[in-house]
């Protein structure tokens, strides 16, 4: 009896009133660098706070409040990834290679890389180039864009992405490959050879 | 033995993509270079891929310098929603 009483006394109280002021920006930044959509990032942060409130009594104080909230946000991001990776959310990228027959694995004729014109002037960093890069990434199916951004733009380690999205390394490389072949074609058609 | 060194263009460009992040194995790189002997298309892909990697790196630098924050208005709205649940 005395033991239970002590446990109740020691229960960690979360400072929920200060959550928004203390963690909202950090959580929003965390979410947006992964999903790259401000509305979706806001929704995920809001859902995380709601879930945190609902399960506040499970907080054992083994980690900081922020770490605990981020672990909830991570689950939300995995759930989102699974949703876009489900059959319903699947929008396949265009094929670049024959996927069967005697030409299996060879370039499809219409997807063969073409020579790029005036490369030197096309490589100058400016607002137009930045916009075109973003446009091409945005054209990818969401799942491909998410993994590509995490790996290439946010420069996360392969292991970290696999852990966060619960995918295998070979799965990640297939996604990166499909994303990059699609992006090369998009940049060729809309930037280098226009 | 030689058969195991042979790659399709799909496989070769997958290795090339992996190599852009410095994560292709030595054996993969050997296979890729053997593939280049007979495939000028994949060689061209690789050169273009390297160019794109440079562009993405510049883009990454700019993107990472951006700080994303919620506005005071958005934070207040979020506070009100939380208060509703907390009651």
Say yes or no to pLDDT of A59 above 50.
Answer: yes
Residues in A touching B61 (Cβ below 8 Å):
none
Give the range among A16-30, A116-130, A145-159, A165-179 with minimum mean pLDDT: A116-130
Does residue A104 fall inside a structural domain?
no
Is residue A178 situated within a structural domain?
A: yes
More confident residue, A99 or B16: B16
Domain assignment present for residue A98? The answer is no
What pLDDT digit, counting tens, does each position of B16-75 carry?
Answer: 999 999 999 999 999 999 999 999 999 999 999 999 999 999 999 988 888 888 999 999
Q: Does B3 touch chain A (CB under 8 A)?
A: no
Distance, C-alpha A117 to centroid of its chain: 33
* Boundary (domain end) residue, out of A51, A85, A119: A85
Question: With an 8 Å Cβ cutoff, is B60 touching chain A?
Answer: yes
ipTM greater than 0.85: yes
Cα B62 to Cα A153, A185, B56, B58: the distances in Å are 9, 23, 10, 6
Per-residue confidence (pLDDT) for residue B76, from 0 to 100: 92
Question: Which structural domain range is residue A72 located in?
Answer: 2-85
A81 part of contact set with chain B, CB < 8 Å: no
Same domain, A12 and A60: yes
- Alpha helices, DSSP H only, in A11-64? 19-35, 38-54
d(CA B75, CA A24): 7
CA distance B31 to A12: 58
A129: CATH: 1.10.10.10
Query: Is position A19 within any domain?
Result: yes
Same domain, A114 and A186: yes
Residues A136 and A173 in one domain: yes
> Which residues from chain B sit within 8 angstroms of residue A130, using beta carbons?
59, 62
Q: Are residues A58 and A116 in the same domain?
A: no
Any B CB within 8 A of A45 CB: yes
Residues on chain B touching A152 (C-beta within 8 angstroms): 21, 56, 60
Domain count across chain A: 2
CA A38 centroid distance within chain: 13
Q: Is residue A102 a part of any domain in this protein? A: no
Do residues A113 and A47 share a domain? Answer: no
Q: Look at residue A94 and tell me if it is in a domain.
A: no
Burial (CB count within 10 angstroms: exposed 0-12, middle 13-18, buried 19+), residue B17: buried
A147 belongs to a structural domain: yes
pTM: 0.86
- Band of residue A5 on the pLDDT scale cut at 50, 70, 90: very low
- Dihedrals phi, psi of A124, to nearest 5 degrees: -75, 125
């Amino acid at each position: 009896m005395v033991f239970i009483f002590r446990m109740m006394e020691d229960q960690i109280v979360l400072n929920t009133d200060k959550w928004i002021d203390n963690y909202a920006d950090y959580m929003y930044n965390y979410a947006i660098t992964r999903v790259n959509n401000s509305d979706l990032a806001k929704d995920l942060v809001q859902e995380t706070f709601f879930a945190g409130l609902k399960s506040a009594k499970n907080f054992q104080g083994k980690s900081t409040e922020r770490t605990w909230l981020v672990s909830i946000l991570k689950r939300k991001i995995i759930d989102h990834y699974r949703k876009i990776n489900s059959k319903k959310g699947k929008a396949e990228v265009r094929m670049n290679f024959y996927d069967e027959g005697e030409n299996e694995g060879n370039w499809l004729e219409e997807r063969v890389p073409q020579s790029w014109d005036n490369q030197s002037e096309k490589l100058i960093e400016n607002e137009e180039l930045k916009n075109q890069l973003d446009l091409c990434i945005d054209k990818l199916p969401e799942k491909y864009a998410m993994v590509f951004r995490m790996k290439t733009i946010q420069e996360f380690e392969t292991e970290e992405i696999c852990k966060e999205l619960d995918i295998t390394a070979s799965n990640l490389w297939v996604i990166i490959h499909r994303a990059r072949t699609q992006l090369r074609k998009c940049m060729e058609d809309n930037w280098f050879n226009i | 033995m030689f058969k195991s060194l042979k790659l399709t263009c799909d496989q070769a460009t997958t290795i090339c993509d992996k190599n852009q992040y410095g994560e292709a194995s030595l054996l993969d790189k050997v296979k890729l270079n053997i593939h280049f002997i007979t495939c000028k298309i994949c060689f061209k892909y690789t050169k273009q891929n390297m160019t794109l990697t440079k562009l993405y790196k510049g883009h990454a630098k700019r993107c990472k310098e951006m700080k994303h924050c919620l506005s005071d208005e958005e934070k207040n709205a979020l506070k009100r929603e939380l208060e509703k649940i907390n009651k």
